[in-house]
Structure 1
Amino acid sequence: MKGTDQCKNCEEIIDTSFDFCPYCGQETADTLTFGVLFKNTINNYFSIDARFFRSFFPLMTKPGLLAKRFVNGKRLLYLHPAQFYLFISVVFFFFFSFTIRKVDDQMSKAIAEGFNQPIALDSLAVKIDSLGVEAAKNTLEEKAGMSAEEIRNIDSITVGSQKISGSSLILQKNMLDSLIAIGAPQAEKLKAMGKKEDTGAFLTKVYVQLLKLYEQRGGGIIQALYDTIPIAMFFMLPLFALLLKVFYWRRGTFAHHTVFSFYFFTFLFTTFCLLILANRFLDIPIWVEVLLFFSFIIYLMLALRTFYESNWIGAFFKAGFITFIYMLIVLPIAMVGVIFISFMLY
């Protein structure tokens, strides 16, 4: 005789012969093990199954085909574009983290050495200021008839609203170093940096970040930049989809352009992963990387022709214009934003 049991997830009464709950779909056997835990995690979030391989090879060899099939309704045979993008981006940033750690160590060491040495800009300013002071002293001696003793005691000269000083910049840096050494309050150190009492909240934050950068001698700034890039990429992808919408205004909705963008960025990240792995074993020359960049444009052209059913000439020029706008306008602005955000979150 069949018995009944209660589902531990939805608490509905079910038949004990069922392997899965007919109400919520959870497996009735409560056999949670370490292996099952991580298997479910991978399956749920990364979908590592046969669909991955059915999606990977067309992505790399048939530009635009996956996106076209997805928008045409074939959505269970292949990985969802967002899942595919998420998985490949996680793999890419995992590989990239090893490279960025080495770069971070090198950059942090170089920045620290720069902070510990006299700043070149300060030295240049001191030379210029010193020449200005000497020129002014000569003028005072010739025109004002001042004695040599009086002129020797002049350390700075104010001309209009500009004060010419040969040592103020060095004194300011030395004062800040002294305050840091004795553990002075932050307000005193910020004041030594030139912060005024009426400085607004935004500029105060900039002063605080500059002080932190100076105190830590730039350590970890590259890591902060690296941590900001994945967030920025989620904004970069919709911007690329927006460009596609501009050039293909009547060819599908914004969601269609987003699907194309997901697959195209997945292809880019996959190629970068392969490039990073190749760099671990080979010294790839720069001309190969240049050719690789142009291959992205060719891939985009082929993908546009397949997905939007465009002619060769239209796909060629639109691929060129999209790449030009994205690389020379969108990407530089985004990089400035990433650098600024990483600095403010440093």
Structure 2
Amino acid sequence: MKTMQGPGIFLAQFAGDAAPFNSLDGIAAWAAGLGFKALQIPSWDARLFDLALAAESQSYCDDLRGRLAAHGLQISELSSHLQGQLLAVHPAYDRPLDGFAAAAVRGNPAARQAWAAEQLRLAAKASARLGLKAHATFSGALAWPFLYPWPPRPPGLIDEAFAELARRWTPILNAFDEAGVDVCYELHPGEDLFDGVSFERFLDAVGQHPRACILYDPSHFLLQQLDYLAFIDLYHPRIRAFHVKDAEFRPNGRQGVYGGYADWADRAGRFRSLGDGQIDFGAIFSKLTRHGYPGWAVLEWECCLKHPEDGAREGAAFIQKQIIRVAEKSFDDFANAASDRSEVRSMLGLQA
């Protein structure tokens, strides 16, 4: 067992064009003032981070770490969610996802995919220069439009989708392996990796690659009605990143898991600020601590009701309260009696 690190905060939902959210130093001072100890940095946001420079310049990375240390902060992980999404895009999503890419490759799926792959390789190098051990991303999706088996899927469709996903990811996983960094896929609806079964299928396709790991986010599992506590018991060896995000699921006579195309505020399942939803975080932190989770507890704020700055302020204190400082000795050590093997055998009624 080990004491979890935290609280951290994912900056993607907070970065903006107004101060203090439009520069790394500004947002770092804001986050530190709320009690956060680490930042998960979106690698695509040039207002906060230069991915290409970080991949090539150790001095840039050292300066970045020093600037954050001046605020009492570390980097928990870099994130490449948008670039990972673009590594595999079904044509149905070409137009809505095109805006995630650099302007020069928009409208050109092949060029966009190549750009995404290069971005991920840069993220591996940058993570290594920053001394990070885990990286947060999405898998992308080729099979997602065929999630529900109606109309019936032709034989081999899903197998080929995962085979192609593996072909695209294997060289990137190898690049992260060379960098000594785990690739932590956020299992998320809209991605081909969205639950345990799909993650296992991917692991098989990439030959059980040691760097193929999980970003654990229980909110996505609650909205799927998946047992998010049993998930930890099953997959804890691969859990290397953790988004602390709350959610609620309140089905009724009109809608359930699929939500009837409703907007977020009107869905049966929706994300909430920490403590406002239904997630049992006490049990989650206990299980992750018991299994020796080695990383950070990072707030990802998404809520259709509460103001983000209130969610961040409350979230820092919420996570800090959940972190379990691991005991250095057993609570009943005071009652232990010294003994040797002969005494133990005597207590069992056996000859010495």
Question: Is the shorter-chain TM-score for this pair beyond 0.5, marking a shared fold?
Answer: no
TM-score in terms of structure 2 length: 0.18
TM-score in terms of structure 1 length: 0.18
Q: Which structure has the higher relative contact order (CA within 8 Å, separation 6+)? A: 1
Which of the pair has more CA radius of gyration? 1
More helix by share: 1
